[in-house]
Structure 1
Amino acid sequence: MNEVKSHYHHHLGYFYSWMVGDFEIKSEEQKAFFQRNNIIPRYAKSAVDLGCGHGIQSVALARLGFNVTAIDFNKTLLNELNLKSIQGIHTIEDNLIDFDLHLRQAPELIVCMGDTLTHLGSQTEVITLLTKVREKLSAGGKLVLSFRDLSSPLIGNQRFLPVKSDENRIHTCFLEYFQDHVQVHDLLHERVDSQWKQKVSSYPKLILTSYLLNAFLNDTGLEVIHEEVINRMIHLIAMKK
């Protein structure tokens, strides 16, 4: 997690919101996903967003009526979320795996989306997180996960992925495959005073599959009630048994 945190602090956090694109469009897409899957406030109206970033899911949930505890380790992205001044969102700067230290009541919903789950350092950490989620969720509470399955290695030039570009920035990823993780190299070319400057940093992403997550969820007492793939991201909804 320290390597991931450093990557965001020194590199990716600087241009993350630009990379993601139009905030309102993305947040409305998330809101529609939640509504389509009957993720709406019921009793406690308490939700937790793990690895909230600049708040795409947090804002969507707040607009649906949830009181959201939004947790992330990156101060820059949390500041962007705070500047939106959305009622019903409380931000906390911490590692997502320590979310349980900040809860005042049992939430009815916990989300960990946008590939955040792959930022954990091992499958053991994933199981630890899911165990904490199971312990902290209220009866009948739900967990929503999304992640990218990186288990099928790209080869050769396929490993260079154009992400986004405009007249002043070009963002490219290079993927380096290992047994249990993929090292993601973020290359940013940025025009500064009419000259192009290159900045490079990398971080590991854990290799996870739908099969693994379904097994982990079942073993920790969370029943998968929905699964779908959206834009090559696996989405799972599980309920506390």
Structure 2
Amino acid sequence: MINSEFFNTLSSNYDEMINFKNSLQNKIESLNKIIEPDYKTALDLGCGTGVDSIALSHLGLTVDAVDHSAEMINLAKQNSRKYNAQINFQVSDLTEIKLSKKYDLIVSLGNTLANIRFDNVSKIISSAAQSLNSSGKILIQIINFSNIPRDKEFILNTFENDKVKIIRKYTFEKDEINFVIDITNENKSKSISTKMFPHSLSEFQSLAKQNSININIYSNLQLEQFKDNSKDLVICFSK
């Protein structure tokens, strides 16, 4: 399944899977630590159903948000109305978007960039760096793939209520990683999958050097110190 089809299919269950309301509050608290007092604008690359964009809007920023899944964007628009957030949403492949504005903060959270080949990630970061204001930051969150054992399938998490059960996991075939989601509801089951690209810390460090930008590394959005066994890899680029 190509990546956009994967997320279009996933969209109907996505907000339940991430517990949207709780996730929104957590993102507001976390992103508030990132935002500098003079920040006014933000760009969300891979916005999904809008949780990060809405959090940034609630923190007082003017937000543009992009995702390649039309169904995700439709839900993001619904969520923005529900949570009273004014956001400019756009359907676009992140590898094709042309950035014509400057931003104080550019975010790509929730493992978005792991859906994209590294050569294209390199282009995205280069474009983002050129689109930062002088004190701006680029905040990236992906899975710390170096901490995932590859001898068997790896369960990321399981969500279950009285309507649906959703299991998110990684499976491994030779050098490839597949992101698989098993969905069971009304006694019906289906699995959807898409290929992942396990970007490493060293690759992001090379991007910092190539683009002459600073890099800080954390284990989560609370900006705790990164360790080899951290679940996530959080990168903060700055000028």
Question: Per the shorter chain, which TM-score range?
Answer: 0.7 to 0.9
Identical-pair percentage: 20
In the alignment, structure 1 residue 217 sits paired with structure 2 residue 208: yes
Q: Amino acid of the residue matched to residue 91 of structure 1? A: F
Which residue in the other structure is 1:131 paired with?
126
Q: Measured at CA, do residues 24 and 169 of structure 1 come closer, stay the same or move farther in structure 2, by a change above 3 Å?
A: closer
Distance 1:17 1:222 in 2: 34
Name which of 8, 11, 25 aligns with 1:28. 25
In the alignment, structure 1 residue 106 sits paired with structure 2 residue 102: yes
Which residue in the other structure is 1:82 paired with?
77
Shift of 1:219: 1.9
Shift of 1:50: 0.3
Which residue in the other structure is 2:15 paired with?
17
Q: Measured at CA, do residues 93 and 41 of structure 1 come closer, stay the same or move farther in structure 2, by a change above 3 Å?
A: farther
Q: Tell me the TM-score normalized by structure 1.
A: 0.85
Shift of 1:52: 0.4
Shift of 1:212: 2.1
Name which of 163, 188, 208 aligns with 2:199. 208
Q: Measured at CA, do residues 116 and 180 of structure 1 come closer, stay the same or move farther in structure 2, by a change above 3 Å?
A: farther
Q: Which residues in structure 2 correspond to 1:122-201 (within 5 Å)?
A: 122-151=117-146, 152-156=148-152, 158-160=153-155, 162-178=157-173, 181-191=176-186, 196-201=187-192
Gaps of 5+ in 2: 222-229
Name which of 201, 208, 219 aligns with 1:228. 219
Q: Tell me the TM-score normalized by structure 2.
A: 0.86
Mean Cα deviation higher: 226-235 or 127-136: 226-235
Kept in 1: contact 2:176–2:195 (CA 8 A): yes
Mean Cα deviation higher: 81-90 or 223-232: 223-232
Gaps of 5+ in 1: none
Which residue in the other structure is 1:54 paired with?
49
Distance 1:116 1:198 in 2: 25
Shift of 1:99: 3.1
Q: Measured at CA, do residues 82 and 4 of structure 1 come closer, stay the same or move farther in structure 2, by a change above 3 Å?
A: same
Which residue in the other structure is 2:224 paired with?
none
Which residue in the other structure is 2:4 paired with?
5
Distance 2:126 2:110 in 1: 20
Q: Amino acid of the residue matched to residue 184 of structure 1? A: F
Q: Secondary structure at the match of 2:95?
A: helix
Shift of 1:123: 1.4
Q: Amino acid of the residue matched to residue 232 of structure 1? A: K
Measured against aligned partners, the alpha-carbon deviations of 1:168-197 in whole angstroms (never above 9, x if no partner) come to 211123422246541112111111xxxx11
Q: Measured at CA, do residues 131 and 181 of structure 1 come closer, stay the same or move farther in structure 2, by a change above 3 Å?
A: farther
Shift of 1:26: 1.0
Kept in 1: contact 2:7–2:69 (CA 8 A): yes
